[in-house]
Amino acid sequence: MAMKRAATSAIRAFSSSSPSSFGSSGSSTRLLHVMSSLHGDVPGALGIRDWLESQGHQYIVTDDKEGLDSELEKHIPDLHVLITTPFHPAYVTEERIKRAKNLQLLLTAGIGSDHIDLNAAAAAGLTVAEVTGSNVVSVAEDELMRILMLVRNFLPGYHQVINGEWNVAAIAYRAYDLEGKTVGTVGAGRIGRLLLQRLKPFNCNLLYHDRIKMEPELEKQIGAKFEEDLDSMLSKCDIVVINTPLTEKTRGMFDKEKIAKMKKGVLIVNNARGAIMDTQAVVDACSSGQIGGYSGDVWNPQPAPKDHPWRYMPNHAMTPHVSGTTIDGQLRYAAGVKDMLDRYFKGEDFPAQNYIVKEGKLASQYL
């Protein structure tokens, strides 16, 4: 049964003692879990209520995370673990990290960490981790859906039906086949590679730009060509998909100048992070026709304010941050969070790919 309200879940030990070391067994741990109104078939917030309470932890649920008098602020000074989601996040700022004197572990129930000040977390010696891979299928499928919606000019037709209209010509003049189009992904990690695999049956020309070139056998299997120079790839693409993480290098990467290097009328799908795009540059390009269509589920900031310009720009197919929140995806990152908490309690390492910050050092993709 779907959870009806937003929730901030705090797991607080009955004992007031602090663990003597990271994840030391036999010691009580205070955990604060800030979450949005998701978890349709994951009862008890990630399905860990009974498990935690059986180990002597108290599980507190609240939707109060804003302001100095919030439940989140109340628990910051004495928590050891903070669990957040990227969909409607609690922002873990340098100021909050400084106040969290006992904090040891920051977990993302999903993928991404741009709501966390990673440099401050590293400086404080914290561990930051995510459930890497938990949303790969969900996001890649969502990207494919958005590509088809833009290419086929789906939304104007839907709006015609809602408005009682019938004007095929007003839809068809901007509708195309996906076959034969050139699609490029900026970033070819787990999601980017899976998207390319999903696109192969459509007989597209597939390109990718990434820090690391795929193995030749995988390239051949997927049918994608590596483009070392990003600008060169962008100039060839009918459709550009953003699949790169948000870092200091990628923040604002797609500005007016970068967008101008793309084909006029390019279609862009971005389920990565909103801040990779220059917000106003996207609005201007959609208005001028330089961008023929823009779709994604990520905004800057999140949640998007009511006056966010992307809500009102032409030729967009934006949604809230939903691509990774299928029931299947939720079950995967719920299991991943439980696994990492279990390892934390036992003093064991996480899977290497889950670390964002470990022992004061950022993972290479975030440098």
Is 108 marked as binding a ligand?
Answer: no
Is 199 marked as binding a ligand?
Answer: no
Dihedral (Cα; 88, 93, 95, 98), 10-degree rounding: 110
Is 302 in the active site? yes
Is 295 marked as binding a ligand?
Answer: no
Is 248 marked as binding a ligand?
Answer: yes
Most distant CA pair in the chain, distance: 70
Is 106 marked as binding a ligand?
Answer: no
Q: Which of 153, 290, 300, 302 is catalytic?
A: 302
Is 222 marked as binding a ligand?
Answer: no
Task: Look at the alpha carbons of 319, 320, 323, 328 in this order and tell me if their dihedral is positive or negative.
Answer: negative
Q: Which of 30, 75, 193, 321 is catalytic?
A: 321
Is 300 marked as binding a ligand?
Answer: no
Q: How far apart are CA 204 and CA 293, in angstroms?
A: 18
By the 10 Å C-beta count (0-12 exposed, 13-18 middle, 19+ buried), 48 is classed as: buried
By the 10 Å C-beta count (0-12 exposed, 13-18 middle, 19+ buried), 361 is classed as: exposed
Q: Which of 104, 135, 243, 315 is catalytic?
A: 135
* C-beta of residue 224 within 8 angstroms of C-beta of residue 206: yes
Is 245 marked as binding a ligand?
Answer: yes
Is 111 marked as binding a ligand?
Answer: yes
* C-beta of residue 53 within 8 angstroms of C-beta of residue 34: no
Is 276 marked as binding a ligand?
Answer: no
Is 163 in the active site? no
* C-beta of residue 254 within 8 angstroms of C-beta of residue 281: yes
Q: Which of 39, 273, 308, 316 is catalytic?
A: 273
Give the list of residues 6+ apart from residue 271 with CB closer than 8 angstroms, or none: 139, 142, 143, 146, 191, 242, 243, 296, 297, 298, 323
Is 203 in the active site? no
- The length of the chain in residues reads 367
Is 153 marked as binding a ligand?
Answer: no
Residue showing tokens 């787990």: 190
> In the sheet where 266-270 sits, what is the strand order?
224-226, 205-209, 182-186, 239-242, 266-270, 291-296, 316-318
**Amino acid type, 227:** E
By three-state DSSP, how is residue 249 classified? Answer: coil
Is 31 marked as binding a ligand?
Answer: no
Is 322 marked as binding a ligand?
Answer: yes
Is 321 in the active site? yes
Is 210 marked as binding a ligand?
Answer: yes
Instruction: Tell me the helix, strand and coil percentages in the chain, rounded to 5.
Output: 35, 20, 45
What residues act catalytically? 135, 273, 302, 321
Which residue positions form the known binding site for substrate? 111, 135
Which residue positions form the known binding site for NAD(+)? 190-191, 210, 245-249, 271, 297, 321-324
Which residue positions form the known binding site? 111, 135, 190-191, 210, 245-249, 271, 297, 321-324
